[in-house]
Structure 1
Amino acid sequence: MEIKPFTAVLPTEAGLHKLTTNDHQWTSADERVQPSAGYYWYELTHNGIHQWRLIASWPEQLSVTTMLPGGINTVLYPKQPVIEMLIDDWVGHFPKTCEFTDAQGVTHRLWQVTEAEVNADITETMAPVAPRKTWLTTTSTPLVMLVADSEWTKFKTQPQVPEHLIQQLTNQ
């Protein structure tokens, strides 16, 4: 898969409060630009079940969007020990960039991977991985959410990804 790190727009504390209370009155004061490019590990927890995803930039010519579960492209790939090892080794190494629980009781946590060497490892590790399944529509987006198929099956109904949780800075 051809992916790369990106500069993200994330919610401020006020934005996290709005995501928690399902308030759709979003303003520029509710978002902040991260100081550097990176990948994002994304953990969803619902009823004690955890699911891990990797959020990355997706080349424009490959842009897809998802019909399920929400605004960020979802691509399934076969479970790979190297990718699982990267998650295990690096998630605890970086501080959380945000955490909140939405109105449906789903806890969302993001970690930004900021070290160039780790980002290079992720890019290199994902390059030969063939997607197993993607969900497509006609509207493109520059972000992709990568989920191991074994992680995807943890939830019968996939939790909704909040619309303003993470976006790519548009002037990259």
Structure 2
Amino acid sequence: METNPFTAILPSASGLQKLTCGASDWTPADETVQAGDSYYWYELTQDGVHQWRLLASWPEQLSVTTMLPGGINTVLYVQNPVIEMLIDDWVGHFAPTREFTDPAGVRHRLWQVTEAPVNADLTETLAKITPRKTWLTTTSTPLVMLVADQEWAKFKQQPTIPEQLIKIQVNTD
């Protein structure tokens, strides 16, 4: 897969409060641009079940075969031990960048991978992985959630991802 780290726009403190309450009156003050290009580990927890996803940029000229159409496309791949090890190491040593529980009781946690060598390892590892074919195809988007098959199978009904959780900072140069 051709993926890369990216500069993200995440909820600010006021944005997290709105996500927690389910408020829809989003303003520019509810967002903050993160420093540097990073991958993001994303953990969803519902009824004690955890699911891990990796958020990455995806070349806009490539089409993506996805599980869910939407702002962030979800791409399945066969579980990879290197990625699992990197998730375990990163999450085990650093606090989440953002964390909240939505009105449906789903806990959302994001970790920003800030070390360039780890981001490079992820890019190299992902380059060798072929996404699994699925049944829905959408137009290309610059942001994808990569989910291992075993992780996807954890939920019969996938939790809703708030639209404002994470966005990609688009360069206007």
TM-score range, shorter chain: over 0.9
Give the residue type in structure 1 aligned to 2:11: P
Q: Which residue of 2 aligns with 1:31?
A: 31
Q: Which residue of 2 aligns with 1:164?
A: 164
Identity %: 71
How do 1:96-111 residues align onto structure 2 when only pairs under 5 Å count? 96-111=96-111
How many angstroms does 1:133 deviate by? Answer: 3.3
Query: What RMSD in Å do the two structures reach over aligned CA positions?
Result: 1.7
> What is the rounded CA distance, in whole Å, between the counterparts of 2:65 and 2:98 in structure 1?
24
Q: Deviations over 1:46-98 (max 9, x none)?
A: 00000000000001112548563753110000111111111111222333110
> What is the rounded CA distance, in whole Å, between the counterparts of 1:67 and 1:132 in structure 2?
10
Give the residue type in structure 1 aligned to 2:82: V
User: What stretches of structure 2 of length at least 5 have no aligned partner?
Assistant: none
Give the residue type in structure 2 aligned to 1:76: L
Q: Which residue of 2 aligns with 1:137?
A: 138
How do 1:73-92 residues align onto structure 2 when only pairs under 5 Å count? 73-92=73-92
> What is the rounded CA distance, in whole Å, between the counterparts of 1:63 and 1:163 in structure 2?
21
8 Å CA contact 2:113–2:119 kept in 1: the answer is yes
8 Å CA contact 2:91–2:111 kept in 1: the answer is yes
8 Å CA contact 2:67–2:76 kept in 1: the answer is no
How many aligned residue pairs are there?
171
How many angstroms does 1:129 deviate by? Answer: 0.3
Give the residue type in structure 1 aligned to 2:126: M
User: What stretches of structure 1 of length at least 5 have no aligned partner?
Assistant: none
How many angstroms does 1:148 deviate by? Answer: 0.2
